[in-house]
Amino acid sequence: MKRLALILLLLCTPALAHVANHPELNSWFDHLASGKGLCCSIADGHAVADPDWDSKDGHYRVRLDNQWIVVPDDAVITEPNRAGRTMVWTWFLNGQRAIRCFMPGSMT
């Protein structure tokens, strides 16, 4: 029962990708998509600090829950990053954290 409540809470939480002081980006965030579908439709977006993402062997990877997860190629957002920061949208698939969308930043 607790697991179901947590899943419902995660699915009903508004996306954290939107920036309150940049409301002009709301529509852009609402339409962001990867090869896995719309990013904000069922998954929350989170900013990723530079030390928590990189590329290795030709693929992006993200550190989530102290574990490096390789970003599937079809999860990478290929349009220009108007938000300027690295973002990841995750969900749970078969009990495992999976990446729905990933938008690389500038790695400054």
pTM: 0.76
- At residue 35, the 3 state secondary structure works out as coil
In angstroms, the Cα distances linking 89 to 2, 16, 23, 103 are: 23, 9, 19, 9
Q: What is the CATH number of domain 2-103?
A: 2.40.50.180
End-to-end CA distance of the chain: 43
Strand partners, 54: 61
In the chain, domain spans: 2-103
pLDDT score recorded for residue 41 = 65
pLDDT score recorded for residue 57 = 94
How high does pLDDT run on average in the chain?
A: 80
Question: Which pLDDT tens digit goes with each residue over 20-69?
Answer: 566 788 888 888 999 999 998 666 789 999 999 999 999 999 999 899 99
